[in-house]
Structure 1
Amino acid sequence: MSRETLRVPGEIVWRVPPLSVPESQTPLDLECLMRSELIPMILVTGATGMFGSRIVRELAARHAPVRAMVRDPARARAITSAGIGIVQADLDQPATLVPALQGIERVFLVSPMDERVADRERAMIDAAVAAGFVAADDVGRAGAVVLAERHEVGANYEITGPAALSWPEVAAI
């Protein structure tokens, strides 16, 4: 098992362990495991956008239980044709978010970077708290790490400390 350390500003340490599957398991066994109750349903926001659509495709390719959140179901034909479930909701309409979180235990929050990004992300965090799978005191700071190469997936990463990277390095991540 490889382990790498990635340092970014902040005070929280996250460890991202790789999924370990015994060599004796077949792809069908793995698919059954991923679709079972053992692996939580994941909601991906912005699922028709550039980043969200890639996240949805990658999760689906790994047989993860994934649901795509879309504003306009007509734009989600590529998602639905791949057999991925969708839910219609909008980060700009907070009342649509709690119903979209039914049966969800994890969220990839992908939102457009504009003047309303903080309001949108706060609305989803509030909805996750209301849905009961995130405690309000668990939400302190958030960060994102984008793994650009396939070989980076599955490694352990430790994200730590404010002095680890300069701001230009952080912006490059």
Structure 2
Amino acid sequence: MVVLVIGATGMFGSRVTAQLVAHGVPVRALVRDEARARTELGSGPELVVGDLDRPDTVDPAVRGADTVFLVTPMDTRIADRELAVIAKSERAGVRRVVKVHGAVRHDGDELEQLHQRSIAALRASGLDWVTVSPNSVMETSLFGQAGAIAGTGSMWGCADQGRVGLVAADDVGRAAAAVLTDERPLEPGTDFVITGPEALTMTQVAAVMSDVLGRSVTYQDLPLEKFRQILLSQGLSEQDAEIGVISHFRAWRRGGADIVTDTYRRLTGSEPTSLRQWLAAHRADFAWERPEQ
């Protein structure tokens, strides 16, 4: 069995690759920069250079692959990239596609529409396919706030009292690897929803941070449009601000991320990483920057 990992140097792809290599599974990694990938991924995976925005370059990667792990950058080209991979996988005789979707309920917004185009293509294909759907990830949700937390002791958002079952990226990688190596027949369209052990408001997240970091961290909730303007002032485009940040906070605010499952435990036999455990491991990333006297 050869597993092709799309986006092998990305947040999920790199972790899945490491897990599969550690378990002796033959891995083919689709990468754009071979030198960078060899440095980051080591000698374990077979590297194939390709670019999802140049679909013809993907053909050598899917040829001979049994299973494809499909995750693409979170922008407006999600569907275009994934539809090309799905079509090529079907023609190449791939057996199973494991697509990263997302547990958060986006209620038909632009991001959800892009993912649903891919899912519709999978449903219409002759492929065996399932989805791995993480709740919002600790790394993407909190590392972006690290500078503000370190400098001011505050983080910002527009989630109000919405709860989110934040999940560690390492846990997503372990769970996805378990799905990829499960050779039992799976019901097409099975959705493996991966979450952390509890759903917290951002105010509660700040309280846990305060306890773990040993100093006060507060959460400042803003009107959605004011928060958008802050993101734009930091150099994000309208589309990147909407798809990458605002759409998630909007979903949190209306209760779309208040999801906790036992899927990670069932797949791995281990307990999911708590926010407290994750923060303890990443304490240095939120280190206090005291102003110069």
TM score, norm. by length of structure 1: 0.60
Distance 1:167 1:131 in 2: 41
SS at match of 1:118: helix
Q: Is the counterpart of residue 169 in structure 1 residue 257 in structure 2?
A: yes
C-alpha separation in 2, matches of 1:91 and 1:41: 20
Report the 3-state secondary structure (helix = DSSP H, G, I; strand = E; otherwise coil) of the residue aligned with 1:95.
helix
Please list, as runs of the form range in 1=range in 2, the aligned pairs for 1:132-143 lying within 5 A after superposition. 132-133=93-94, 137-138=125-126, 143=131
**Relative to structure 1, is the Cα distance of residues 116 and 66 closer, same or farther in structure 2, using a 3 angstrom cutoff?**
same
| RMSD, aligned α-carbons | 3.6
Cα shift at 1:105: 1.0
2-structure distance, mates of 1:113, 1:51: 12
What corresponds to 2:11 in structure 1? 50
Corresponding residue pairs, total: 128
* Structure 2 segments unaligned to the other structure (5+ residues): 96-121, 135-166, 192-253, 262-293
Do 2:3 and 2:66's aligned partners in 1 also have CA atoms closer than 8 Å? Answer: yes
Counterparts in 2 of 1:84 and 1:141: CA distance versus 1, 3 Å: closer
Task: Give the aligned partner of residue 71 of structure 2.
Answer: 110
Q: Which amino acid aligns with 1:137?
A: S
* Contact 1:105-1:133 at 8 Å conserved across structures: yes
Counterpart of 1:75 (choices 36, 49, 61) is 36
Residue deviations 1:79-129 (CA, integer Å, cap 9, x gap): 563332111111111111122112211000111010000000001001111
Q: How does 1:1-173 map to 2 (within 5 A)?
A: 40-78=1-39, 81-133=42-94, 137-138=125-126, 143-146=131-134, 149=171, 153=175, 159=190, 168-169=256-257
Partners of 2:9 and 2:41 within 8 A in 1: no
Letter in 2 for 1:169: A
Give per-residue Cα distances to partners, 1:127-172, cap 9 Å, x unaligned: 111212259633598632348549x856999957xxxxx9713888
Q: Tell which deviates more after alignment, 98-107 or 112-121.
A: 98-107
| Residues 90 and 96 in structure 1, CA contact (< 8 A), matched pair in contact too | yes
Q: Distance in 2 between matches of 1:140 and 1:102?
A: 17
Which protein is richer in helix relative to its size? 2
Relative distance call for 1:170 and 1:124 in structure 2 (3 A) is farther
Give the match's secondary structure for 1:87: strand
Q: For 1:101, give the aligned amino acid.
A: V
With the length of structure 2 as denominator, give the TM-score of the two structures. Answer: 0.37
Q: Distance in 1 between matches of 2:126 and 2:260?
A: 27
The Cα of 1:64 is off from its aligned counterpart by 0.9
Q: 2:61 is aligned with what amino acid?
A: A
Distance 1:120 1:53, change over 3 A: same
2 CA distance for matches of 1:86 and 1:111? 17
Distance 1:63 1:76, change over 3 A: same
SS at match of 2:132: coil
Q: Please identify, of 132-141 and 45-54, the stretch whose mean Cα deviation from structure 2 is larger.
A: 132-141
Q: 1:126 to 1:52 in 2, by over 3 A?
A: same
Higher RCO, Cα 8 Å, sep 6+: 1
Partners of 1:59 and 1:141 lie apart in 2 by: 19
Offset of 1:62 from its aligned partner? Answer: 1.0
**Structure having the higher Rg:** 2
Percent identical: 41
